[in-house]
């Protein structure tokens, strides 16, 4: 059984984690011939409104991660940088939810060493679980066809008013990406029942040790999702 630790972090307070996260993410994307993902720049490391979760294997190596960017009214969310120039309504739709607290789930990746065991889904659930700690009422994300089933089961819904029925050609001509929004990041009312229950459990018990059923068998995960308090 694979054993993984999930640990939360705040970007500006943990540069070492940011660097390893970025290196792993870039490496995975390069394997797919993708080099222009906007969330892979280094700017997010210096933003106070970015939090993340990393998956760490038994050897202490980061093998996956996901980030939550809080919309702060100053720094555009990654989705705005990625496809906002194709449709200016992207920024205005995000702004509709700004006052209640909104942000973006982004930068999801997992290494080949853990491919197929469910790490990405577990990371997405964990990312949604921590939004109560940063007081977000809604979340946006952008995804390709291959991750659509995963993000819809946790409650994201395509914003079909954007782009071409919600679709954008991104990150390159052979890919279609969709902008989605989690209608309510607090109630999770649009998520499948099983995923909703797991997210609520992680939210209510951010420190827990759990055996998660995955596509290739059970995965032993030590969750440490309380955002750290730094001096």
Q: For residue 38, give the CATH number of its domain.
A: 3.40.630.30
Query: What is the pLDDT, as a whole number, of residue 173?
Result: 81
Query: What is the pLDDT, as a whole number, of residue 38?
Result: 52
- Alpha-carbon distance of 147 to 169, in angstroms, equals 15
199 within domain boundaries: yes
pTM of the predicted model as reported, rounded to 2 decimal places: 0.94
196 within domain boundaries: yes
| H/E segment holding residue 27 | helix 15-31
229 within domain boundaries: no
200 within domain boundaries: yes
201 within domain boundaries: yes
Tally of structural domains, the chain: 1
Name the residue range of residue 73's domain. Answer: 2-224
31 within domain boundaries: yes
- Alpha-carbon distance of 19 to 151, in angstroms, equals 26
Residue pLDDT tens, the chain, 231 long: 999 999 999 999 999 999 999 999 988 877 767 666 655 578 999 999 999 999 999 999 999 999 999 999 999 999 999 999 999 999 999 999 999 999 999 999 999 999 999 999 999 999 999 999 999 999 999 998 889 999 999 999 999 999 999 999 988 787 899 999 987 888 999 999 999 999 999 999 999 999 999 999 999 999 999 998 876
* CA dist list (Å): 165 to 86, 159, 180: 13, 8, 11
- Alpha-carbon distance of 39 to 144, in angstroms, equals 15
Query: What is the pLDDT, as a whole number, of residue 79?
Result: 94
**Which of 134, 131, 108, 230 has its CA nearest to residue 184?**
131
Backbone angles phi, psi at 211, to 5 degrees: -95, 110
230 within domain boundaries: no
- Alpha-carbon distance of 12 to 32, in angstroms, equals 29
| H/E segment holding residue 63 | strand 62-70
DSSP letter, residue 209: E
64: Cα within 13 Å, side-chain hemisphere: 24
């Amino acid at each position: 059984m694979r054993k993984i630790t999930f640990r939360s972090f705040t970007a500006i307070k943990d540069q070492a984690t940011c660097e390893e996260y970025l290196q792993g993410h870039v490496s995975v994307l390069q394997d797919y011939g993708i080099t222009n993902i906007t969330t892979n720049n280094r700017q997010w490391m210096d933003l106070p409104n970015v939090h993340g979760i990393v998956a760490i294997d038994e050897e202490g190596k980061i093998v996956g991660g996901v980030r939550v960017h809080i919309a702060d009214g100053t720094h555009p969310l990654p989705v705005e940088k990625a496809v906002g120039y194709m449709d200016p309504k992207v920024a205005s739709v995000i702004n509709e939810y700004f006052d209640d607290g909104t942000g973006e789930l982004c930068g999801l990746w997992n290494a080949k060493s853990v491919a197929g065991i469910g790490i990405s889904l577990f990371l997405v659930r964990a990312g949604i679980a921590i939004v109560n700690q940063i007081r977000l009422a809604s979340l946006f994300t952008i995804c390709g066809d291959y991750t659509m089933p995963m993000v819809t089961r946790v409650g994201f819904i395509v914003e079909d008013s954007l782009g071409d029925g919600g679709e954008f050609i991104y990150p390159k001509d052979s890919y279609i990406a969709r902008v989605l929004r989690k209608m309510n990041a607090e109630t999770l009312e649009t998520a499948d029942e099983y995923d909703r229950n797991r997210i609520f459990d992680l939210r209510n018990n951010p420190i827990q040790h759990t055996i998660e059923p995955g596509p290739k068998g059970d995965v032993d995960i030590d969750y440490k999702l309380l955002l750290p308090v730094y001096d």
